[in-house]
Amino acid sequence: MMGTEGSAVSDQEQSTLAIVCGGGSLPFAVADAVLGRGRPVFLLPIKGWADSDAVRRYPHAWMTLGRFGMPRLMALNAGCRDIVCIGTLVRPPLRALRLDWLTVRMLPQFYRLFRGGDDHLLSGISKLVEQQGFRLLGAHEVVPDILVPEGVMTRIRPTAAHLADAARGFALLEATGAFDVGQAVVVAQNRVLAVEAAEGTDAMLERVAALSRAGHIRLPPGSGVLVKAAKPGQDRRMDLPAMGPRTVEGVRQAGLAGIVARAGDVIVAEPAACTQAADRADLFVTGIAAKPKPSA
Amino acid sequence: MMGTEGSAVSDQEQSTLAIVCGGGSLPFAVADAVLGRGRPVFLLPIKGWADSDAVRRYPHAWMTLGRFGMPRLMALNAGCRDIVCIGTLVRPPLRALRLDWLTVRMLPQFYRLFRGGDDHLLSGISKLVEQQGFRLLGAHEVVPDILVPEGVMTRIRPTAAHLADAARGFALLEATGAFDVGQAVVVAQNRVLAVEAAEGTDAMLERVAALSRAGHIRLPPGSGVLVKAAKPGQDRRMDLPAMGPRTVEGVRQAGLAGIVARAGDVIVAEPAACTQAADRADLFVTGIAAKPKPSA
């Protein structure tokens, strides 16, 4: 900590990375990618959310939401300065939290957090993490190639009609951003079939599949796009939307034609496996950059 | 048709009312209410959507979407001048339509209709109906007391927190109106839990119930509001959102605290049964008028 600015940054890059793990496989994909780059990790899996079988493969300290005192000490002991928070996280009611002493001291701040939506909670957590002496990073800052790139990732390319559906989806996500809803919609032939909220992308895709099976919606062959983007104004270090091979499988089962993600906005776990799964199923996966805002 | 303007209107009010019936129980609730007012009805149930058991209780001619020629003649023969369209209606792919001659002549118009979302389809149908010599009315024009009134309909009243959730829901529905999405959302403690699209309100409520059972969301007791409103700019003669005792039951099973509907925007089937069901379940149902737009 006494070195020049440059060496301090370099110290941090070699220091153990703390990863606060929510649900899903993404935290472990990130951990593996970080390890693959030669940086050690220390997991802080959240009880009730993180996959306990997967957690065992890494050094870790289980964390109960609301109990940051001990895990903080353990992470500091493990040499962590940087923290990444990743994985699905559904907001618990305040009474479900078991509070420790450090947390009790922060309680007034917590109360304020829990009154808002997810964005509010996450940006609040990030502030608390930084107050506790850590530097909060986004997963894409430690594993830069984890974000969906611009361009088509698959053999199949989207048609103009698919891109028009994607544009409608992006516009809808933009319009709902202020309401802290979801980060994904399904659009087919200009019609919005599903909007993600608390259920998450996988459940939304299952819904489209079920509606289709029951004949409540009819997807003409080759139509239907899953559209994913970050919420406008979102703290990009927290809760970027994610997709992986399971998303591709959900899209296939829903009978959609492919996935359009906002390039640089969406984390893709196991990109090679995604592309393979999509190619096998004749689906497209493509990243589209946001249009630059008109200046003046 | 030779009388004065006043007697012409009165003729029409006593003429048989044609009711184009989509899915659900609402078309029959409307038919019964119209009959209760002494006006005869002639149902034009749509094959694949309308409940064939219920249809049998009324004079009717089955209609295939895209085949308007024969039902039109039968409705005219039955003395109909006015038409009401009501019930859920999911957009079919164009190739699923079996076209008759009158429809073939209107095909260019149809093509344009089927490219848009539901709003586009419905407003297009209304234009076609009028070109065919009928007067299109909204269900609320023939049964004025069918709309949710302003005020609390139940023993239980919503709290300030519930009304804040409702305000958030109304604002979200306003923001998504241009995208022709759904007409209902679920909001709990300032968080949007579900947004309705193609699945409809009942399925959305089942989703909230399932998310809650699985622990993916936790609804603190006494929280959670189903918010319903018409889309902004919607042709009010077509496809106003509706609720009935089944909606109340869905809200109960989802563990929500009640329903807030935009007064004058939402059709309530069997209002007495709704109130009874809500009172039995300790739920509130209330209508809230839209705030007048600020002038200048």
CA atoms within 13 Å, Cβ hemisphere of B140 = 18
Q: Which residue has the higher pLDDT, A144 or B173?
A: B173
Percent of chain A with pLDDT over 70: 74
A213 part of contact set with chain B, CB < 8 Å: no
Please compute Rg for chain A using Cα positions.
20
B289 part of contact set with chain A, CB < 8 Å: no
Sort out which chain B residues have CB atoms less than 8 A from A161's CB and list them.
none
Say whether pLDDT at A36 is over 50. yes
B97 part of contact set with chain A, CB < 8 Å: no
**B196, amino acid identity:** E
Task: Note whether B198 contacts A193, CB cutoff 8 Å.
Answer: yes
| Strands B191-195, B17-21: pairing kind | unpaired
A109-113, A175-179, B26-30, B244-248 — most confident range:
B244-248
Task: Note whether A179 contacts B191, CB cutoff 8 Å.
Answer: no
The Cα–Cα gap between A39 and B197 comes to 44
Cβ atoms within 10 Å, residue B199: 24
Nearest neighbour of B179 by CB, restricted to A172, A208, A216: A172
Say whether pLDDT at A10 is over 60. no
- pLDDT of A234 reads 67
Please tell me whether the overall predicted TM-score, pTM, comes out greater than 0.95 for this model. Answer: no
Interacting residues of B50 by C-beta distance below 8 A, sequence separation 6+? B21, B22, B23, B27, B43, B87
Sort out which chain A residues have CB atoms less than 8 A from B87's CB and list them.
none
Q: How close is the nearest chain A Cα to the Cα of B218, in Å?
A: 7
Nearest CA in chain B to A220: B93
Q: Please identify among residues 145-184 of chain A the ones whose CB lies closer than 8 Å to any CB of chain B.
A: 168, 171-172, 175-176, 178-182
Task: Note whether B90 contacts A207, CB cutoff 8 Å.
Answer: no
Question: How far from chain centre, in Å, is Cα A278?
Answer: 20
Nearest CA in chain B to A117: B191
- pLDDT of B196 reads 93
Interacting residues of B106 by C-beta distance below 8 A, sequence separation 6+? B68, B128
Task: Note whether A194 contacts B199, CB cutoff 8 Å.
Answer: yes
Sort out which chain A residues have CB atoms less than 8 A from B201's CB and list them.
none
Instruction: Say if residue A285 is exposed, middle or buried (CB neighbours under 10 Å; 0-12, 13-18, 19+).
Output: buried
| ipTM for this prediction | 0.70
**A252, amino acid identity:** R
Sort out which chain A residues have CB atoms less than 8 A from B92's CB and list them.
218
Structure tokens at A287: 């990243």
Task: Note whether B181 contacts A171, CB cutoff 8 Å.
Answer: no
Sort out which chain B residues have CB atoms less than 8 A from A172's CB and list them.
176, 179, 181
| Strands A267-268, A284-288: pairing kind | unpaired
A2 pLDDT tier (thresholds 50, 70, 90): very low
Contact A217, A211 (CB under 8 A): yes
Nearest neighbour of A190 by CB, restricted to B117, B192, B195: B117
Task: Note whether B216 contacts A90, CB cutoff 8 Å.
Answer: yes
Indicate the average pLDDT of chain A. 79
Query: What is the residue-level pLDDT of chain B in tens, covering all 296 positions?
Result: 333 333 333 445 678 898 888 777 778 888 998 998 899 999 988 777 788 899 999 999 887 666 666 667 777 777 888 888 776 654 444 444 455 555 555 544 444 444 444 544 555 566 667 777 788 888 888 887 888 999 999 999 999 999 999 999 999 999 998 887 878 999 999 899 999 998 889 999 999 999 888 877 878 889 999 999 988 776 666 667 888 888 999 999 999 999 999 998 888 878 889 999 999 999 999 999 987 655 54
* Axis crossing angle, helix B200-213 with helix A200-213, rounded to the nearest 10: 140
